Structure 1
Amino acid sequence: MAFFKSRDEKKSEEIYKIIMDTLKNRGNQVYDLKVEFQEGVVTLSGVCDSEATRKKAILCAELAEGVKKVNSDPLLLSEAAAQEQAAAVPPAAPVSPNPPIQTAPPAAPSVQTAPAAPVSESPLETGFPSAEAEAAELKPSPEPQPSPQAPETAARSAQPSEPVQPQAEMQTYTIKSGDTLSKIAKQFYGQANKYMVIFEANRDVIKDPDRIYPGQTIRIPPLP
């Protein structure tokens, strides 16, 4: 009686042959290799002589036509390969102990401040003036007294000013800008109406008593 193989069984044998041929040509070896294909998922089991052999077997199964996923958990390493693999893995860095928790320094003691001095209450002010203020307002202010003058100062102020003494000798005077004969007579004689005395003494220089010019030199005679 002939046995018919299912489609999955045929696919399993095909993948098995691909893996074994590939590993044999490369000098790799898998002990008790088993391949099961079911609905696109391949499950590999067996013992590999190295990690490189295991990876190559998985890669061959993944590249096979119709394979969607490869379950390689049952595909193990030999004891020697496992020890070699463990030796190649560097040891994990030791976990440093937790650093001590930094605690905040104790709070500084609060500074005791002196209590504020009580504010003295000012007496209530009323809208009425005090008796002292009323008395000060009713008291008449003293009248200002004239300051006494020294006797000598009072005597001087009472005396009339001395008149300008008339000139006793003939003098000369150079007329300046702004001068008039009346002004010059007032300066020398003390009387402005004596200007005709100056005019009569200078007829050779002054032709008109109302017209004199700066720079003219005139004579100032004494009063008769």
Structure 2
Amino acid sequence: MTIVALSQDAEVKFNFRENKETKTKRDSVELKVPEITVAAIAEYLGSEDAKVVSLITETLQGTLNSYIRSFVDNDVTFDQAKLDAMFAEGKVGLEAIANLPRSERNTLTNTDLEEFGKVYFKLSQSLLGKSEAQATAAVVVINSRIKKIAGNQPALAKVKGDFEAFLSAAEDSVIEENSRALTYLLAKLEEYLAEDITAESL
């Protein structure tokens, strides 16, 4: 079996959360990891090991299927005709997904957000000390995909800080179960925070 040679040029920083029992936090670990380059992918696709080739194609197919699933979940009338129309317009494919903002590539359904909202509503009161009204307002922001506070820099910064505090305070199992929602929401917050358009700048 041919092994594709990879250079260890990709720098990755692995961060850790504070241990709730010992109140200690492991230091971050920075490593130079093997980098998957275009040339390496070409070699993988030419591999004599069919499982290696399948891993790549199945990963890409999974990304595409998840993207399509987001439309199915959010439209009860979605059918083959609608998918065919999107395909004809160039709205379905890796090119379309690659050109989306990073947060939009995380194909999260409204149901996923609603489920996280229920968890956050309960735990933000016990872990972050929020009132029921504050927790309710936070859920409204979550379900709006952060659009409810777009342009409000102080509110965006506050919600971002709350989510980061939630990440530190919640149980690992809660974070794991809601990692996709949290990743998506934090990315959206970063996008909106970067779009700080004030009256003075216009």
TM-score, structure 2 normalization:
0.23
Query: Higher relative contact order at CA 8 Å, sep ≥6: structure 1 or structure 2?
Result: 2
Relative to its length, the structure with more strand (as a share) is 1
TM-score, structure 1 normalization:
0.21
